[in-house]
């Protein structure tokens, strides 16, 4: 048996690109849509989805959106513009700050932060973080980290109410972006492509009716490592491929690791792939550089996230099925 490790996630990039491209084309044909709308953040996932869409359809049938807001990284628009210039697709930039301000996104979130950090106010920055899953078996609770205008940082554990309010307010960002994606899709008669990879899709790292909403999700079956492999195969600019994955949701720099996954994506890939394929726990632990008790905590965390976010994958509940619609087939 081949030793378990990073090579276990290797794929045939050429075959995978053709498989995804064919599925995109068949979906558009069945749904009578003319092309694809994709929001590009300058990150690896949206870049690969945009590149796959161009490979499948041609640049003239792909429309890209740059959707920054006042707390986006300064690098976001430069990376996403580099991508659309490279792809040769039409794109539009729409700053969503006015919409978020009108909806109370920043005000509601800041009020929640002030419930635990009273001095928080204009000019301050913030993010929320989780303790590492591998460092301790203690119950994991979110904290807010805030930075004053003079650079002083303070961290406080969040109450359940404050955490929920911060997340609910921050979710305006993903839902506003999706609203604009569907506006452009409707006017062009295009479909909206979602950009979650398998880690995000499996672990519920998305906002329902926000970045979780889409007509087609071309890379939701691919582990992050495999997304990077496709990026290299497709020729996605090196600057994007070497960029550190971020949430780009909070005003302070924040990795996906400290916000949600608690492990670098390369190790999460190994743990999730090993768990999904019934690989011996000792082999997974060795490949990931974890002790047995640490791996057990990772496995528990994976299963807990699956249970707590299962509702995100569910369609609306009907009291009785509408049988006529069940017979429609858009495959």
Model pLDDT, residue 331: 63
The answer to whether residue 236 scores a pLDDT higher than 80 is: yes
Q: What does the pLDDT average to over 284-304?
A: 94
- Known binding-site residues for ATP equal 39-46, 195, 224, 246
Interatomic CA distance for residues 112 and 118, integer angstroms:
10
Structure tokens at 299: 């496995």
Residues contacting 246, CB < 8 A, separation 6+: 43, 73, 253, 254, 255, 256
Q: pTM for the whole thing?
A: 0.93
For residue range 126-170, list pLDDT tens digits in order: 999 888 777 766 667 899 999 999 999 999 999 999 999 999 999
- Known binding-site residues equal 39-46, 175, 195, 200, 208, 215, 224, 246
Confidence of residue 247 (pLDDT cuts 50, 70, 90): confident
Model pLDDT, residue 256: 66
Model pLDDT, residue 211: 96
The residue among 227, 232, 225, 228 whose CA lies nearest residue 217 is 227
- Known binding-site residues for deamido-NAD(+) equal 175, 208, 215
Confidence of residue 230 (pLDDT cuts 50, 70, 90): very high
Mean of all residue pLDDT scores within the chain: 93
Model pLDDT, residue 137: 67
For residue range 78-132, list pLDDT tens digits in order: 999 999 999 999 999 999 999 999 999 999 999 999 999 999 999 999 999 888 7
* Strand 90-93, strand 143-147: pairing: unpaired
Type and span of the H or E element at 76: helix 76-87
CA geometry: angle 264, 268, 273, nearest 5 deg: 155
- Known binding-site residues for Mg(2+) equal 45, 200
Model pLDDT, residue 138: 63
For residue range 5-30, list pLDDT tens digits in order: 999 999 999 999 999 999 999 999 99
Lowest-confidence pick of 162-176, 240-254, 261-275, 283-297? 240-254
């Amino acid at each position: 048996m081949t030793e378990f490790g990073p090579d276990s996630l290797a794929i045939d990039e050429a075959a995978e690109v053709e498989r995804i491209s064919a599925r995109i084309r068949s979906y558009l044909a069945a749904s009578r849509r003319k092309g694809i709308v994709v929001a590009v953040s300058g990150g690896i996932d949206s870049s690969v989805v945009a590149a796959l869409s161009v490979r499948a359809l041609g640049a003239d049938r792909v429309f890209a959106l740059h959707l920054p807001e006042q707390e986006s990284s300064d690098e976001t628009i430069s990376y996403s513009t580099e991508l659309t210039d490279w792809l040769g697709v039409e794109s539009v930039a729409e700053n969503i700050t006015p919409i978020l301000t009108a909806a109370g996104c920043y005000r509601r979130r800041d009020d929640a932060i002030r419930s635990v950090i009273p001095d928080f106010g204009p000019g301050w920055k913030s993010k929320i973080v989780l303790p590492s899953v591998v460092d301790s078996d203690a119950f994991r609770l979110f904290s807010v980290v805030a930075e004053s205008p003079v650079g002083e940082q303070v961290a406080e554990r969040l109450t359940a109410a404050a955490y929920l309010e911060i997340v609910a307010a921050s979710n305006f960002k993903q839902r506003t972006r999706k609203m604009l994606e569907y506006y452009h899709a409707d006017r062009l008669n295009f479909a909206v492509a979602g950009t979650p990879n398998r880690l995000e899709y499996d672990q519920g790292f998305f906002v329902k009716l926000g970045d979780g909403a889409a007509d087609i999700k071309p890379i939701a079956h691919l582990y992050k490592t495999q997304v990077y492999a496709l990026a290299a195969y497709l020729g996605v600019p090196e600057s994007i491929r070497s960029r550190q994955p971020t949430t780009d949701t909070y005003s302070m720099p924040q990795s996906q690791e400290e916000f949600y996954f608690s492990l670098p994506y390369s190790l999460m890939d190994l743990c999730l792939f090993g768990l999904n394929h019934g690989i011996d726990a000792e082999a997974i632990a060795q490949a990931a550089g974890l002790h047995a008790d640490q791996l057990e905590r990772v496995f528990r965390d994976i299963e807990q996230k699956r249970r707590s976010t299962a509702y995100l994958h569910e369609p609306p509940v009907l009291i009785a099925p509408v049988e006529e619609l069940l017979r429609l087939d858009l495959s």
